Every structure is written in structure tokens, then in C-alpha cells.
A and B are shown apart, each in its own frame.
Chain A
Amino acid sequence: MKIGAVAVLWAALLGPSTAPEEVDFSVLSGFDYIEGKELPGEVERLHETEVTLAGFMQREDDGSGPVEYFMLIDDACGCEGTPKLNEIVFCAMPEGETTDILAGVTTMTGKLFVEEIVEDDVVVALYTMDVDSIDTLDAPSPP
């Protein structure tokens, strides 16, 4: 699979030091999430880590234009079931930046935060991410 930086790139915002850690949804969603329960160590340790993560962009609302916030999920369709909280990364673009919702697999680079955001007894997010760059997989995959 060839990866090309054809979409949006904010290279200037990338940290200058260590390479981001490659993470996938098998880790993030590979456990039965129960609100308030301790998370697996391999997930907890990713808190505030620079990562790359591939998935499918999905908008939150009814609109059709560029967005500042979006969800990254592991399923092209989502028809098999609405993703659970540990199957969604809530992504935020750099301040003042927006992005189109891109087709196909996209790879996010940025800082991942792993912690329950609880408001009024409702967990509204488990994973959030400050996105620095978005790459698209721009070639069809082998079979």
C-alpha cells in the first residue's frame, strides 16, 4: 500500500522530536469498554502520546461542508452497528483550520488523549485527538 500525502498537511505543526507511534483500532477497541472501569495498560499508556492512526472520517452532523471536529472510526460503513465509545476517536483540527471529510482510509497524526470525558454523569468521549496532519491512502489495496 502506498501512502501519499495528498490531502491536508500541516507539517509545520508536527513536533520536531520523536516519530509518532503507530496505533491501530485493534488496540483502542480491542476490549469490552465499561464506563468507569480501568482501561487496559496498553491503552492507558497512549495518553498524551503522538500517534498515527488510520481509520475512516465521519462527520458528526448533517452538514456537508468542511469541519473543525470529526470522528475517526474503523468501519467504512458503520452499518454493522454504531461504534462504541472505544471505537471512536473524536478529532479536533488545529485552531482555525477545517478539513473536508475524506473518502477511504485516512491516517491521522497528532496527540492522542485517553481519558473519559464525563459531564453530568454521561461519558461523552474516551479518545480525543489533536490532529496535526491527515494523509490519505491514495491507492487501491491489493486483494
Chain B
Amino acid sequence: MRRALLSVALAAAAVAAQEPAPADAWTEAVTKACAHRRFAVRRAAANKVGRAGDAAVPAIRAYIVAQGAARVSQLLVEAVAATPNDGDAGDPATTALLEEWARERTFYWRAQALRGLAARRLPEHRALFWAALDDASYLFRIAGARGAFGVDAEAARPRLHALVDADPDPRVRVQVAAFLLEQDDDHGVPVLLAALALQAQCLGDPWGRREAERAFRALRAAADGKDFGYRPGGSADDNRAGIAAFTAALAPARAAADATPIVLAREAPAFAGGVVIRSCRNGDLVVRWTAAGAVYEGLDPRPTATVPPAAWAAIAARAGDLEGDGRVHGRVICDSIDVVSAADADRPRRWKCAPGAVPAPLWQWLGDLTQGLRQISPPHLAEELEGRLPQFSESGG
């Protein structure tokens, strides 16, 4: 019965996504793509707008004027970005819109827009792609890599190899390596092989498994569809033979494949809590700590320092007074803050909050945490937190 009701709701969504009257065709479709309450409608409408190419751009611009760029949905940007016109005329209006979005640092989906430009491979975006390689957003770096390579592969190749070898975010290393392999560049094969064994999590988010699956898909394609018995989502033990077989099949193509072990996520002690600030605009900040106050930074947890015991004890005690309800606070569009605070192992507390939605007690505790982080050297984590937290306070900073 419930499923029947769900089907009715979804069916209503599909009906709503039907072709509107020609006069308002794109205005109505753009509005649905951004604002309809049902995902299925937003998706169908966004795809329709994307397929329309330049014809729909005036309606998108009108929507932005009326509602603001923050109301443009990720679905719409992805759909517009994904459908380049490869004909002689290209799609200049769409390209111009994507470029404006990609250059606008406050636009939520600027990385998706840059990826659309990367698909178009226009030389005039070369500088934009190269600048993106140093951006704080890991998604922007990945999109920039695609664009830089697409415009001038030989010029970009060494820089992309450097990203694969040493980017601080393992997701960039894996995804640029996978992209290069699609382009018949096997420099990243060792990184992809290492990624097959990733099981790392961050506050419960199994990001390592997702990257392992990406690596698997790229390697499988390079191996003419052979999976060597590797099973995505399987344990490292289950997949040991599959990884060995992939290595035997693909690593010989790389002389340096087994020269140095690749570490995408280093070993770390069990974490007692952490803060993850995700931002499509400004990049992610990942800070985790042990029960003793040893602080680590990044998805590949780099040890920084330990907060002095007295200060950490006070922070932990105040964490014990917090009541976490486990809910998502506010409406998360892109930027969000995840906090897990465990005063003791049996009573962890979790929050996920949109900008402007951190409850006051948690906000005060985050201030305490920042002060604690000020006592370790280098102080950049405290400075990063101080810079990023204001958007999340209930008063908006």
C-alpha cells in the first residue's frame, strides 16, 4: 500500500514534467528543474533543459535574476554542462553561462560548471583550467585537470601526474588517475591499484569504498572488461586475489609501479570525534581527534599535534554536556558541517547542519574547540575553523 502511494507520488511527478506550452517552455522547465518538490521532476526537467542547449539559456538567466543563483539546482547545472553541442556552431550561450558560473566563487556548483567547460575543450579556457588545479575545492581541481588535459594534453600531463602523485586529497589522486587512464595515460595505475584496497571512512562516511569502486571501474575498462574476481564493496581479504590479479595484468605496463608503496589513507588511531565542513565552494575541511586530544587533519589523516591535556579535558567535559539529536539541522544544499563528539565511547553525539543552523550549545562548544586548537602548533586548523564557522551560526555569523 505504501509503495502504491509512493508510485502515485512519483507518477504525479512524471506528469508534471511533461512538455509545457511552447511560449513558456523553458521558463517552466527551468523552474521545475530547480524548484519542484519531487526529485524525479527536477531530474526530468533538468535533462530537458540541458538537451535544449542555447535555446534554454535566456530562461535560465531570467530564473537567476528572479530567484538568485543560489536557487539554481545542481541537477540543472549538471544537465547543462553535460550536453555540449559538438557542431560547428557550438553552444556559445551555454558556454558563456558555464564560464560565468565557473568563475563565480560563491556559486555552489562552480565545479560542475567547470566540468562542462572541460567537456567543450575550448582554448580560451586554458588559464581558467590551470588556475583550477590549485583551487581549494577538490572537485574544482579534478574538473580543472580534465579541462587542462583536454585543451593541451602534453602541456598538462606533467601537472596532472603531480596531482596523482601528491595531491593532499586522495579523491583527487584517484579520480585524476582514472581520468588519465581513460586517456591511455597509465601514470596513475599504481594509485588506482592501491585504491582498490581502500576501506577508509570519515565519521562513518565510507569514502574509501567509493574511491575503490571508481578505481575498479577504471581498471576494469583498461583490462578490457575483466574484473579478476574483484568485488566492489568486498573486504580487503576478500579482494586480495583480485587486486593481485589486476596488479599482475596492469602494473607491468608501468616500470615504476612497484617502486614505492602508495599510501592514500595512512593508518591512524581510533577517532573519538571530528568536524567535517564540506563546501562545494571553498573545499572541505576535515579535522578528527582521539580521546586523548591528538588532532589529525584531512581524509588521509595527517597528524598535527596534541591539545594540552588540561585544555582537552575541559573541551571533552563540555562535549559531554551537549545533547545531540542526530537530526539534520536546516536545509543542506551544498555547504554543511558534520560534528561527532564523543565524551565517552558509549555516548557519541552527532550533528549535521546547514549554514545558519548550528544550535547555540553546539556553536559555543565549537568555539571552545577552536580555542583548544589554538594551543597547538601550527595554528592553521584553528584559523581555518574560525574562518569557516561563521556561516553556520544561527545568527549567520
Complex CA distance for A95 and B331, rounded to whole angstroms: 25
Query: Number of residue pairs across A and B with beta carbons under 8 Å?
Result: 165
Residues of B within 8 A of A119 (CB): 10-11, 13-15
Would you give the shortest CB distance from A5 to chain B, in whole angstroms?
12
A21 at the binding interface (Cβ < 8 Å): no
Given known pairs A24-B233, A62-B37, A79-B334, the reply for A102 and B327 (CB within 8 Å) is yes
Q: Which of B209-231 contact A (CB under 8 A)?
A: 209-210, 213, 231
Complex CA distance for A107 and B296, rounded to whole angstroms: 28
A61, A113, A125, A138: the one contacting B326 at CB < 8 Å is A138
B18 at the binding interface (Cβ < 8 Å): yes
**0/1 string, A9-31, CB within 8 A of B gives 1:** 00000000000000011110010
Residues of A within 8 A of B37 (CB): 60-62
Chain A residue, CB-CB nearest to B272: A140
A103 close to B338 (CB less than 8 A):
yes
B269 close to A92 (CB less than 8 A):
no
Would you give the shortest CB distance from A43 to chain B, in whole angstroms?
13
Chain B residue, CB-CB nearest to A56: B205
**Contact size range, B:** 35 or more
B78 at the binding interface (Cβ < 8 Å): yes
A40 at the binding interface (Cβ < 8 Å): no
Would you give the shortest CB distance from B38 to chain A, in whole angstroms?
6
B75 close to A69 (CB less than 8 A):
no
A92 close to B3 (CB less than 8 A):
yes
Q: Which of B249-301 contact A (CB under 8 A)?
A: 265, 267-274, 278, 280, 288, 296, 301
Residues of B within 8 A of A142 (CB): 201, 270-271
B6 at the binding interface (Cβ < 8 Å): yes
B14 close to A120 (CB less than 8 A):
yes
Q: Which 6 A-B pairs have the closest CB atoms?
A: A26-B233, A119-B14, A103-B352, A143-B268, A124-B40, A61-B37
Chain B residues with a Cβ under 8 A of chain A: 1-3, 5-7, 9-11, 13-15, 17-18, 35, 37-40, 43-44, 74-75, 78, 111-112, 139, 200-207, 209-210, 213, 231-234, 265, 267-274, 278, 280, 288, 296, 301, 325-328, 330-331, 334, 336, 338, 340, 342, 345, 348, 350-352
Chain A residues with a Cβ under 8 A of chain B: 1, 6-7, 24-27, 30, 56-57, 59-64, 69, 71, 74-82, 88, 90, 92-95, 100-105, 111, 113, 117, 119-120, 122, 124-125, 128, 130, 136-143
CB-defined A-B contacts under 8 Å, sample of 26: A6-B326, A26-B233, A56-B205, A57-B328, A59-B331, A71-B39, A76-B278, A79-B334, A94-B2, A95-B2, A101-B328, A102-B327, A103-B338, A104-B203, A104-B326, A104-B340, A113-B3, A117-B7, A117-B10, A117-B11, A119-B13, A122-B40, A125-B10, A136-B326, A140-B272, A141-B271
